[in-house]
Amino acid sequence: MQTVAIVGVGLIGGSFGLALRQAGFEGELLGVSSPPAIEAGIRSGAIDRAQTLEEAAASADLIYLAQPVDRILATIELLGPIARPGCLITDAGSTKSMIVRKASQCIGSASFLGGHPMAGKEQRGSQAAEGSLFRGRPYVLTPHAPDTPLSAKLRPWLEKMGANVVEMTPAQHDKIVAFTSHLPQLLSTALAGTLATRSSHGSVQGIPQVFGPGLLDMTRLALSSPDLWSSILATNKAEITLSIDLFLEYLNKLKNAIATDDLPPLFDTGAAFAAALRKLPFIN
Amino acid sequence: MQTVAIVGVGLIGGSFGLALRQAGFEGELLGVSSPPAIEAGIRSGAIDRAQTLEEAAASADLIYLAQPVDRILATIELLGPIARPGCLITDAGSTKSMIVRKASQCIGSASFLGGHPMAGKEQRGSQAAEGSLFRGRPYVLTPHAPDTPLSAKLRPWLEKMGANVVEMTPAQHDKIVAFTSHLPQLLSTALAGTLATRSSHGSVQGIPQVFGPGLLDMTRLALSSPDLWSSILATNKAEITLSIDLFLEYLNKLKNAIATDDLPPLFDTGAAFAAALRKLPFIN
């Protein structure tokens, strides 16, 4: 692997470039992004220089798509006719089924490998990029078949970056993240939105003054931008709707249990799961 | 103020003792608690020695009730006939209306002052106590009238501990914390419970392996014990039910907006509130 092109030099794309360097990559790192992102990426060392998508498609051995999901879908269409044979295209999009389907239509499954690093920060942009962003975090790959040569090409680099690589189908990935990522995002947004609505009614004074640290935890995801989330949620509607419905079932059970003073079993189930999450070997 | 008795030497009670010492209190700190809590409290310096509730009621100038809400209610009944005149009784319970009502029946509002430090940690017990626990955090007092001498007696000590003292009525307090504390707790528990249920169905493999840092934020409160929460929720049912209903309204709006691809306004409302919370002067 001599030449890597990163399309979208933001938090994830910039971190991928930095991590690749730290993992020992000595080839060239090209950036396809907006002028300010390119400038910040060159300054931090995440990329060496800018190219157009057309130039990158003609020369790169690996193209890393680190854009919002809707932009990844559009870039895949553009790449279809221009990517050179032998080039591996991968992405870091938060949903996989639609992206992988689009890629198999436009590019062919032999040269596309879906991916999703389960890493992030509140800040966006390549200013926030870190070479250690993927360390100790799950990195999902969705090869069209297990042990494909594509996965063999990318996986060792991800492992050198310290990521915990997990392989599964796009459908499995989207089912899981509906519960572990999309549902939590919607709950955080809905909580902050509820408090905003309640607060602006003026019927409760002082909401912003009286709260503990737990409210900050629970509203951190709500800081996320709709730019990113609109296309994530739009490409996983069925699974997300299911996750919301199961959540509503549990919340209604809790509501009834408050009325009947029978909370402990429902609390214990949640507490046991929360504790088990924290005992996973890769959580520090 | 010469003698302070702390009833329930756990995280909050122990932290109150340590904070009082650090704020310059030179009198005696008595502890009314279980033998292991007393031992840990003496070791850390949170209290000087153990007493029974009867002994403490006969000698203390300030009695600080730092038990779960149901236990505070029971202790107030016991203290009614035995607290010496001139003793100020305060509490650190997470709901205020029922506690203050019980106190006015049993003790008389002239010597009871409701309180609620909005501080906490995942760990419980006086081993986790810290003299800085209240620093920079809101501390609600609910005097039966503004500028009562009771509040004048306790408030300066809380301010020396670095707390942001806020006075309001018990009803105002309970309305607000239903939204800022009780609702977030229920959402975290319901999220973890939903994932536990989904996981144990076996229909989604790998839930525990594929998630980002946001899921840890969103399930931190779910670690809380039902011992504490059962009586918090039982003493604020009407306000909590209202907060759940308003939340359900917002979540259903989000669910519909996913179907119609119209998320940005709902995301923006949540993001603006979450950002405003973090701009408060006492958030660091």
List, edge to edge, every strand of the sheet that includes A112-117: A49-50, A28-32, A3-7, A62-65, A88-91, A112-117, A138-142, A164-167
Of all residues in chain B, the one with the smallest CA distance to A223 is: B271
The b/e string for A215-248 (b: 16+ C-beta within 10 A; e otherwise) is: bebbbbbbbbebebbbbbbbbbbebbeebbebbb
Q: Does B183 reach chain A within 8 Å, measured CB to CB?
A: yes
Q: In this predicted model, what pLDDT tens digit does every residue of A64-83 receive, in sequence order?
A: 999 999 999 999 999 999 99
CB atoms under 10 Å from CB of B143, counted, come to: 23
Tell me the torsion sign for CA atoms A17, A18, A22, A23.
Answer: negative
CA-CA distance, B11 to B127, in Å (whole number)? 7
Percent of all residues in chain A with a pLDDT value above 70, rounded to a whole number: 93
Question: Is there a contact between B191 and A206 if contact means CB atoms under 8 Å apart?
Answer: no
Give the model's pLDDT for residue B206: 52
DSSP annotation string for B74-141: HHHHHHHHHSPTT-EEEE--S--HHHHHHHHHHT-GGGEEEEEE----SS-SGGG--TTTTTTSEEEE
User: Is pLDDT above 70 for A205?
Assistant: no
Reported as a single tens digit per residue, the pLDDT across A217-240 is: 999 999 998 988 999 999 999 999
Question: Tokens 């993001």, residue?
Answer: B271
Burial per residue of A62-92, b for 16 or more beta-carbon CB atoms within 10 angstroms, e otherwise:
bbbbbbbbbbbbebbeebbeebeeebbbbbb
Structure-token pair, residue A111: 């040269």
* pTM of this structure: 0.92
Residue numbers in A near B259 (CB within 8 A): 237, 241
A122 pLDDT exceeds 90? no
What's the confidence (pLDDT) of residue B201? 55
Token pair, residue A239, equals 């699974």
Q: How far is CA A282 from the centre of its chain?
A: 18
Greatest Cα pair distance, chain A, in angstroms, is 67
Low-confidence ranges of chain B (pLDDT < 50): 202-205, 284
DSSP structure class, residue B33: S
Residue A202: per-residue pLDDT: 46
Q: What is the pLDDT of residue B203?
A: 44
How long is chain A? Answer: 284
Distances (CA, A) of A203 to A206, B246, B251: 10, 13, 21
Question: Which pLDDT tens digit goes with each residue over A55-65?
Answer: 999 999 999 99
Measured CA to CA, the distance from residue A141 to residue A151 in angstroms comes to 8
Query: Which chain A residue lies closest to B118 (C-alpha atoms)?
Result: A212
Each residue of A29-47: pLDDT tens digit?
A: 999 999 999 999 999 999 9
Q: Does A220 touch chain B (CB under 8 A)?
A: yes
* Distance between start and end Cα atoms, chain A: 32
Secondary structure element (H or E) that encloses residue A62, with its range: strand A62-65
**Which of B86, B59, B67, B85 lies closest to B5 in space, CA to CA?**
B59
Choose the closest CB to B267 out of A173, A187, A226. A226
Mean pLDDT of chain B: 92
Asked if residue A2 has pLDDT above 50, the reply is yes
B212 CB neighbours in chain A (<8 A) are 118-120, 137, 180-181
Check residue B202 and give its pLDDT.
Answer: 46
The alpha-carbon gap from B102 to the nearest alpha carbon of chain A, in Å, equals 20
Round to whole Å and give the CA distance between A137 and A43: 26
Q: CA-CA distance, B54 to B84, in Å (whole number)?
A: 10
pLDDT value of residue B144: 78
Q: In this model, does residue A203 exceed pLDDT 50?
A: no
CA–CA min distance A20, chain B (Å): 21
* Between A252 and A121, residue with greater pLDDT: A252
Q: What is the mean pLDDT of chain A?
A: 92
pLDDT at residue A89 is higher than 60: yes
CA–CA gap between residue A177 and residue A93 (Å, rounded): 12
- Which of A12, A182, A200, A218 is the best substitution to test chain B (most B C-beta atoms within 10 A)? A218
Give the burial string for A108-130 (b: 16+ CB within 10 Å, else e). Answer: ebebbbbbbbbbbeeebebebbb
Give the closest residue to B116 by CA, choosing from B70, B47, B66.
B66
